[in-house]
Chains A and B, each alone.
Chain A
Amino acid sequence: MWQEKNPIEALRWPQHVRLPIIISVHHQAEEGPFVFPDGQPDPFDFSERQYGGRRGAWRILEILERHNVRGTWLICGATLEKYPEISRAVKKAGHAIAGHAYQHEFMCNLRPDEELAVMRKTVSVFEDRLGERLRGWRTCFASHNTVDLLLEHFAFEWDGSRSNDDLPYIVEGHGRELLEIPFFAPGDPAYAAQITQPFSPPSAYSTWTSAPPEFTLRSYKAVFDALYERSAEKTCVFPLTVHDFITGRPSRAKVLDSFIAYVKQFKGVVFTTHDELAGWWRANYTGIGTQDP
Chain B
Amino acid sequence: MAVEIKRSAEFHWPSRVRLPVVLTFEHQSGEGAQPIFGDRPNYMISDAIQYGARRGLWNILEELDKHSVKATFFVSGSTAERYTPGVRAVQKAGHELAGMSYSFDRVRTASPEKERDIIRRSMKALQDSAGTMIKGWRCPDYRISPQTLDLLAEADFEWDSSLLNDDLPYLFDCRGRFLAEIPFTTSTADKTFASYPHPQRGGPDGLLNVWNSEFDMLYEESQRDARYLILSMQTWVVGRPAVLRVLDQLLSRLASFDGLWYARCGEISQTLRPQGA
Contact-residue size bin, chain B (C-beta under 8 Å from the other chain): 35 or more
Any chain A CB within 8 A of the CB of B105? no
Q: State whether B142 touches A204 (Cβ < 8 A).
A: yes
Q: State whether A251 touches B192 (Cβ < 8 A).
A: no
Least CB separation from A38: chain B residue: B109
Indicate with 1 or 0, residue by residue over B6-46, a CB within 8 angstroms of chain A CB atoms. Answer: 00000000000000000000000000000000000000000
Our pick among B192, B217, B221 for the contact of A205 (Cβ within 8 Å) is B192
Our pick among A194, A204, A213, A254 for the contact of B186 (Cβ within 8 Å) is A204
Indicate with 1 or 0, residue by residue over A187-228, a CB within 8 angstroms of chain B CB atoms. Answer: 000000010100000011111111111110000000000000
Q: State whether B201 touches A211 (Cβ < 8 A).
A: yes
Q: State whether A48 touches B192 (Cβ < 8 A).
A: no
Q: Roughly how many angstroms separate A77 CA and B165 CA in the complex, as a whole number? A: 20
- CB neighbours (8 Å) of B227 from chain A are 250
Any chain A CB within 8 A of the CB of B264? no
B 117-151 contacts with A by CB, 8 A: 141-145
Least CB separation from A55: chain B residue: B167
Least CB separation from B203: chain A residue: A212
A6-14, A39-47, A88-96, A265-273: which one contacts chain B? A39-47
Least CB distance, A288 to chain B, in whole angstroms = 47
Any chain A CB within 8 A of the CB of B156? no
Q: Roughly how many angstroms separate A257 CA and B186 CA in the complex, as a whole number? A: 21
Any chain A CB within 8 A of the CB of B270? no
| Contact A214:B209 (CB < 8 A) given known A42-B143, A44-B142, A51-B164 | yes
- CB neighbours (8 Å) of A250 from chain B are 167, 213-214, 217-218, 221, 227
Any chain B CB within 8 A of the CB of A249? yes
Any chain A CB within 8 A of the CB of B112? no
Our pick among B185, B198, B199 for the contact of A249 (Cβ within 8 Å) is B185
Q: State whether B201 touches A210 (Cβ < 8 A).
A: yes
Least CB separation from B188: chain A residue: A251
Most chain B CB neighbours (cut-off 10 Å) among A205, A215, A255: A205
Any chain B CB within 8 A of the CB of A54? yes
| Contact A210:B108 (CB < 8 A) given known A47-B163, A251-B217 | no
Extra contacts, 17 of them, besides A43-B145, A250-B214, A254-B216 (Cβ < 8 A), are: A47-B162, A47-B183, A51-B183, A51-B185, A205-B191, A207-B187, A208-B187, A212-B193, A212-B209, A213-B210, A215-B201, A215-B206, A250-B217, A250-B227, A251-B210, A251-B217, A254-B217
List the interface of chain B (C-beta within 8 A of A): 108-109, 141-145, 162-167, 183, 185-189, 191-193, 195, 198-199, 201-202, 205-207, 209-211, 213-214, 216-218, 221, 227
21 A-B residue contacts at CB 8 Å? A43-B142, A44-B143, A47-B165, A47-B183, A48-B164, A51-B166, A51-B185, A55-B165, A209-B186, A210-B192, A210-B193, A212-B207, A214-B202, A249-B187, A250-B217, A250-B221, A251-B188, A251-B211, A254-B213, A254-B214, A257-B217
